[in-house]
Amino acid sequence: MKSFEELRKEIENFQIENADALEAFRLQFLSKKSEIQSMFNEIRNIPPEERKQFGQLINEIKDFANKRFDEFKSTYDNRANAQSAVADITRPDTNVSLGAMHPISIMMDQVRRIFEDIGFSTVTGPDIEDDWHVFTALNFAEEHPARDMQDTFFIELHPDILLRTHTSSLQVRTMEAQQPPIRVICPGRVFRNEAITSRAHCIFHQVEGLYIAENVSFADMKQTLLYFSQRMFGPDVKIRLRPSYFPFTEPSAEMDISCYICGGEGCNLCKHTGWVEILGCGMVDPNVLENCGIDSKKYSGFAFGLGIERMTMLKYKTNDIRLYFENDVRFLEQFKSATK
């Protein structure tokens, strides 16, 4: 039989690094078949006068072994818990940066929603167009400067194919496809052969509007555009129409809104005139209706086209169109709150 001293040393020096070692410790020192238990069985062979002291010593050793076991077990349990915490792949990342809509998309959506509320539906069409839909059907004269290579991107191998210079091509496509009443809004990307500066870009976005039915008047157009302007820029905004010229409308006008920054007093944004131009519009020329298969004696209507970049620059007070195409996150991040 081992001496008490030997047994105590063994318990003290036992290394426990894993669950198996812990179990080995338990079997060796604390189970029914352990050395300590067999010492208890020895008691009856000890002379009666020494039994009490012997019993005390075994109990001390047993308490010591129990204490060691509890210590090892709690250290081991803590370590196991710590390890499983590291491996917890379901823990959410608190630092996720969410994206936001591009300011141009935000503005296109806003314009579209306002017109959808008064019964317009949205139509889209091809960026790569033909001469008929962009120019000829819209009453552009043969020698119109827009047909010049300096203004329009043509495809060299095919003189009839070009990148659309305005969304007015969608008026033609819509009227060719359906009879009045027509109430559509057409957002899209357009292309012009222009040098890129802070005010102009070779790519930009427009929203086109078209309303054709019986007895549509210039007053209907004016009221519709006033409604749009006040929802977009605020209830106090006024509009004014200045005579202008477009081949596809007669009469034609440019529309200004009263400057929503200074309220018409004059400031940098409106160049001290009190007004800012936001769109072109007019009554659809009867030639255009006929070109698209619509009876111009029965139907009339109005159309308008607005530049999204210009509207966005006015609304968010930015002065360089290139910012909208560079995709610099420091610029785009500022529109996060406008997305909602």
Q: Tell me the closest approach of the beta carbon of residue 199 to ligand DAH, in angstroms.
A: 15
Using rule CB under 6 A, residue 249 touches ligand DAH: yes
Using rule CB under 6 A, residue 173 touches ligand DAH: no
Using rule CB under 6 A, residue 305 touches ligand DAH: yes
Q: Is 185 left (phi over 0), alpha (psi -120 to 50) or beta?
A: beta
Q: How many chain residues are in contact with ligand DAH, going by CB under 6 A?
A: 11
Q: Which regions of the chain does DSSP assign to beta strands (E)?
A: 121-122, 128-130, 154-155, 158-163, 182-191, 203-213, 239-246, 249-258, 275-284, 300-307
Tell me the backbone φ, ψ of residue 261, rounded to 5 degrees: -85, -50
3-state DSSP helix/strand/coil % of the chain, to nearest 5:
45, 20, 35
Q: Which regions of 214-274 does DSSP assign to beta strands (E)?
A: 239-246, 249-258
Using rule CB under 6 A, residue 162 touches ligand DAH: no
Q: Tell me the closest approach of the beta carbon of residue 143 to ligand DAH, in angstroms.
A: 18
Using rule CB under 6 A, residue 309 touches ligand DAH: no
- CA dist., res. 141 & res. 37, Å (int): 113
Q: Which of residues 299, 304, 324, 335 is near ligand DAH by CB under 6 A?
A: 304
Q: Pattern of binders to ligand DAH over 47-76, x per CB under 6 A? A: ------------------------------
Q: Tell me the closest approach of the beta carbon of residue 253 to ligand DAH, in angstroms.
A: 8
Using rule CB under 6 A, residue 299 touches ligand DAH: no
Per-residue b or e along 74-103, where b marks 16 or more CB atoms closer than 10 Å to that residue's CB: eebeeeeeeeeeeeeeeeeeeeeeeebbeb
The region of 107-115, 117-125, 269-277, 297-305 touching ligand DAH under the rule CB under 6 A is 297-305
Distances (CA, A) of 44 to 41, 49, 51, 74, 150: 7, 12, 8, 36, 117
The region of 34-42, 46-54, 233-241, 275-283 touching ligand DAH under the rule CB under 6 A is 275-283
Q: Considering only the C-alpha atoms of the chain, give the largest distance between any 2 of them, rounded to a whole number of Å.
A: 133
Q: Which residue is nearest to ligand DAH (CB)?
A: 305
Q: Tell me the closest approach of the beta carbon of residue 279 to ligand DAH, in angstroms.
A: 7
Closest to ligand DAH by CB, 237 vs 303, is 303
| Other beta carbons less than 10 A from residue 29's beta carbon | 22
Q: Is 294 left (phi over 0), alpha (psi -120 to 50) or beta?
A: beta
- CA distance from start to end of the chain: 82
Contacts of 31 (CB under 8 A, 6+ apart): 37
Q: Which of residues 166, 173, 205, 310 is near ligand DAH by CB under 6 A?
A: 166
Using rule CB under 6 A, residue 277 touches ligand DAH: no
Q: Which of residues 103, 180, 188, 280 is near ligand DAH by CB under 6 A?
A: 280
Q: Starting from the edge strand earliest in sequence, which strands make up the sheet with 121-122, in order?
A: 121-122, 182-191, 203-213, 300-307, 275-284, 249-258, 239-246
Q: Tell me the closest approach of the beta carbon of residue 95 to ligand DAH, in angstroms.
A: 45
Using rule CB under 6 A, residue 188 touches ligand DAH: no
Q: Which of residues 204-243 bind ligand DAH (CB under 6 A)?
A: 208
Q: Tell me the closest approach of the beta carbon of residue 211 to ligand DAH, in angstroms.
A: 11
Closest to ligand DAH by CB, 166 vs 183, is 166
The residue ranges that bind ligand DAH (CB under 6 A) are 166, 168, 208, 246, 249, 280-282, 303-305
